[in-house]
Amino acid sequence: MAALRRKFGEDYHVVNTNRGASFPSAPVKKKRQRFVDKNGRCNVQHGNLGGETSRYLSDLFTTLVDLKWRWNLLIFILTYTIAWLVMASMWWIIAYIRGDLNHGHDASYTPCVANVYNFPSAFLFFIETEATIGYGYRYITEKCPEGIILFLFQSLLGSIVDAFLIGCMFIKMSQPKKRAETLMFSQDAVISQRDGKLCLMFRVGNLRNSHMVSAQIRCKLIKSRQTPEGEFLPLDQCELDVGFGTGADQLFLVSPLTICHEINPKSPFFDLSQRSLMNEQFEIVVILEGIVETTGMTCQARTSYTEDEVLWGHRFLPVMSLEEGFFRVDYSQFHSTFEVPTPPYSVKEYEEKSSLLSPLDTPNRERVFSMDCLEAGEDGAHPGSASCKLPSKLQKMSSSGREDLQRKVLRLSSQPPEKASSTGDLPLKLQRLGSSPGQADGEARFHLKALKVGFQPMAMSTGDLHQRSLPPTPAAIPTHPHGPPHTPGGRPEDNLPPKLRKMNADR
């Protein structure tokens, strides 16, 4: 015990799950009828079949195989005994009709079957013929055609009876039902956390060294329920996911394995808690299937767990240990469990508590200002005006009468500065003006009025960016002896050379 506590911690206690042990526990509930016993036998009986019993005779071979051993042996002995007596009687009747019984010791008389004097001798002849013993004392003569026909019928009938009964006995003996006796299931199932998730777990093991090929496990929840329409479904079957989507239901059963069912919103145990487990009535049927390696036949082992056999807050004790050159399995601890800290509430309650305690995570969205709001902020209007409270679509509809150039400038102003400073984001007319030959001239530059929100410029023209990037230089006064003098209030096109002015006029 001290070694186990050092290994698993002081809070863990090994629990002996032997039902014979006496320890204080909750009041024992009345034992109810199980759908499937612990040994895998189904507690279902078919009654009031009426005229449907004839269906069993239509599949006589399967019916004989499904019978118990005592009935099989009885049918085997009676079939051979009756067949032998009937065939021996037929040989005796032939000898009686031909009068061979009265001339049994006459050497000059040729009987149908030599040395057949009475019924015992006829029975011995049949056994020697059927078993191909052939002592050579009793034999058929050529003077008896009816005996030859009966001999052929006897050979055919004997082959059919041998094939049917011997085949039935062989299938009965080679059935892998006894192989299921060496497949173990844990006596109890447990509910505890694994990888941060609440799981229902049980253990399976293989006592033989021969493997189970293509072993697969399935789980069914047997529980009565009532539909929303009022229909009552007794013993309704529901599938429990034990790793069908991930392939965890395919087992490599060379050592004991712990099968895990994750309790999630798709699980029927989503609202099961430690308190509600005491009032529930259900049964979990476990089906393990695989191919026996030695015979190649399919084997199926079954067991079940009721609500009384599900332990909340327990975990299975490890049974694997490393020895020199091999792994050792201690099956004495196969059914043992120990307590672990486990939340007593259901997964549904845990998710509801998490959703209430955790703040709502809302994505950070950028504030979008309409042109009315921006103009109101620029003119000093109150921020709580009606136009600023309107949705963005209604604000865009209210500003439909504005100029197209002002809309584009406003859209550029709401973008980050590093995005609005590129010439590709400006309208086409502004890009042409920004790339004109007279861009270097300070007076010919096209200025945009920057919209400001919170005393920060939202957009600027390409000429301002170019001017900020260049060092301040004194403006050169062009001297043209034959051109007109430059006036501060003149048009920018008047300062262009004559060829450019002519090209601009033609355009």
Specify the CATH number for the domain of residue 155: 1.10.287.70
The model's confidence at residue 66, banded by pLDDT at 50, 70 and 90, is: confident
Encoded amino acid at 297, one letter: M
Does 440 have pLDDT greater than 60?
A: no
Residue 218 sits in a domain whose CATH number is 2.60.40.1400
**pLDDT, the chain, mean:** 75
Q: Is 65 in the same domain as 186?
A: no
Higher pLDDT, 74 or 370: 74
What's the pLDDT score for residue 490? 53
Per-residue confidence (pLDDT) for residue 495, from 0 to 100: 66
When pLDDT is averaged across residues 332-354 and rounded to a whole number, the result is: 91
Q: Partners of 36 in the beta sheet?
A: 42
Is 145 found in the same domain as 212?
no
pLDDT number for residue 133:
82
- Do 197 and 286 fall into the same domain? yes
pLDDT at 132: 80
Q: Is the pLDDT of residue 27 over 60?
A: no
Q: Please say if the pLDDT value at position 365 is more than 50.
A: no
Lowest mean pLDDT among 197-201, 251-255, 366-370: 366-370
Which of 233-252 are b and which e, b meaning 16 or more Cβ less than 10 Å from the residue's Cβ?
Answer: eeeeeeebbbeeeeebbebe
Measure the CA–CA gap between 408 and 405, rounded to whole angstroms.
5
Whether the pLDDT of residue 112 is over 90: the answer is no
Is residue 254 domain-resident?
yes
Domain boundary among 399, 422, 457: 399
Same domain (yes/no): 238, 268:
yes
The pLDDT score that the predictor gives to residue 104 is 67
Classify residue 50: in a domain, yes or no. Answer: no
Q: Mean pLDDT throughout 96-124?
A: 84
Determine which of 181-195, 208-222, 229-243, 431-445 has the lowest per-residue pLDDT on average. 431-445
Residue 136: both structure tokens together: 């050579």
| pLDDT at 449 (0 to 100) | 39
Residue 431 and residue 409 share a domain: yes
**381 and 440 belong to one structural domain:** no
| Structure tokens belonging to residue 327 | 């792994």
Is a pLDDT exceeding 50 seen at residue 473? no
Q: Are residues 378 and 461 in the same domain?
A: no
User: Residue 290's pLDDT band (boundaries 50, 70, 90)?
Assistant: very high
β pairing state of 197-206 and 183-185: antiparallel
Residue 486 predicted with pLDDT over 80: no
Same domain, 159 and 96: yes
Task: Enumerate residues 6+ apart whose C-beta is below 8 A from 113.
Answer: 91, 94, 95, 100, 122, 125, 138, 139, 140, 141, 144, 147
User: Of residues 481 and 275, which shows the higher confidence score?
Assistant: 275
Domain boundary among 131, 151, 173: 173
Question: In terms of residue numbers, what domain contains 372?
Answer: 368-399
- Please give the pLDDT value at position 433: 45
CB 92 within 8 A of CB 126: no
Instruction: Please check the confidence at residue 291 and state whether its pLDDT lies above 50.
Output: yes
- Section 46-51 average pLDDT: 79
Quick one: pLDDT at residue 466? 44
Q: Is pLDDT above 60 for 410? A: no
Report, as an integer, the average pLDDT of 405-430.
47
- Answer yes or no: is 499 within a domain: no
Predicted local distance difference test score (pLDDT) of residue 501? 77
How high is the pLDDT of residue 264? 93
Give the best-scoring range by mean pLDDT among 286-295, 424-433, 448-457.
Answer: 286-295
**Cβ proximity of 257 and 203 under 8 Å:** yes
CA distance 429 to 148: 120
Task: Read off the pLDDT band of 128 (50, 70, 90).
Answer: confident
Asked which of 132, 157, 173 is the last residue of a domain, the reply is: 173
Q: In what order do the strands lie in the sheet with 337-339?
A: 14-15, 337-339, 314-316
In-domain check, residue 72: yes
Share of the chain above pLDDT 90, in %: 35
pLDDT of residue 334 exceeding 90:
yes
104/182 same-domain check: no
Q: How many domains does the chain have?
A: 4
Per cent of the chain over pLDDT 70 is: 66
pLDDT of 75: 92
Q: Looking at the structure, do residues 289 and 428 belong to the same domain, yes or no?
A: no
The answer to whether 325 touches 346, Cβ cutoff 8 Å, is: no
Query: Among 172-176, 312-316, 346-350, whose mean pLDDT is lowest?
Result: 172-176
The pLDDT of 316-339, averaged and rounded, is 92
Confidence of residue 296 (pLDDT cuts 50, 70, 90): confident
Q: Is residue 25 part of a domain?
A: no
* pLDDT > 50? residue 84: yes
Structural domain contains residue 483: no
User: Does position 223 have pLDDT exceeding 90, yes or no?
Assistant: yes
Supply the pLDDT for residue 28. 52
Looking at residue 354, its pLDDT comes to: 83
**234/312 same-domain check:** yes
In angstroms, the CA 447 to CA 462 distance is 9
Query: Does residue 165 lie within any of the structural domains?
Result: yes
Which position has the higher pLDDT, 459 or 291?
A: 291
Q: Is residue 153 part of a domain?
A: yes
In this structure, the answer to whether residues 281 and 393 fall within a common structural domain is: no
